[in-house]
């Protein structure tokens, strides 16, 4: 009887060990995945039009957007006149980002750039206020699915 219990205990112990190892491995994989997923869930991705000319504009615009608390990434496309931002919606919102960019002198889709700041921009950066913004590389006139209207 003692032997049987012992061997059962050994089997259980072995089973536990291998399970533990497997569980550990799975846990590691899962935890990486979870942290990535939760990052995705917490972050709101947004893109909107912002006028500007060159690489210096890009720096200014992105710096302004990144200066908003809760903004994780900001990437302004020089050709498309469009910014992609990723932000934590529990810390900030779309308008705060528009306002920050506008304060740096740049027009966004929703907020006109601050005039004083615009005047202080380097000459090459004083973009045309009539410039088309949010230009898509490939024009899909019917694709409004991401715009919420």
- Burial pattern 67-99, b for ≥16 Cβ within 10 A else e, equals ebebbeebebbeebbbbebbbeeeebeeebbbb
**Site for Cu ion contains 104 (CB under 5 A):** no
Half-sphere exposure of 4 (CA within 13 A, CB side): 1
Binding mask 59-98 for Cu ion (x = CB under 5 A): ----------------------------------------
**Site for Cu ion contains 53 (CB under 5 A):** yes
Which range binds Cu ion by CB under 5 A, 4-12, 15-23, 56-64, 104-112?
Answer: 56-64
Size of the site for Cu ion (CB under 5 A): 5
**Site for Cu ion contains 131 (CB under 5 A):** no
**Contact footprint for Cu ion (CB under 5 A):** 53-54, 56-57, 125
């Amino acid at each position: 009887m003692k032997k049987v219990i012992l061997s059962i205990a050994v089997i259980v112990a072995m089973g536990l060990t291998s399970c533990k190892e497997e569980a550990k491995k799975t846990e590691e994989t899962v935890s990486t995945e979870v942290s990535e997923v939760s990052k995705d869930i917490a972050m709101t991705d947004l893109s909107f039009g912002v006028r500007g000319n060159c690489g210096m504009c890009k720096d200014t615009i992105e710096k302004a957007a990144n200066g908003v608390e809760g903004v994780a990434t900001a990437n302004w496309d020089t050709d498309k006149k469009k910014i992609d931002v990723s932000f934590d919606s529990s810390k900030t919102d779309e308008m705060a980002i528009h306002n920050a960019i506008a304060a740096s002198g740049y027009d966004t889709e929703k907020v006109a750039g601050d005039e004083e700041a615009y005047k202080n921009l380097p000459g090459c950066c004083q973009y045309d206020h009539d410039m088309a913004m949010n230009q898509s590389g490939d024009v899909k006139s019917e694709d409004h699915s991401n715009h919420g209207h």
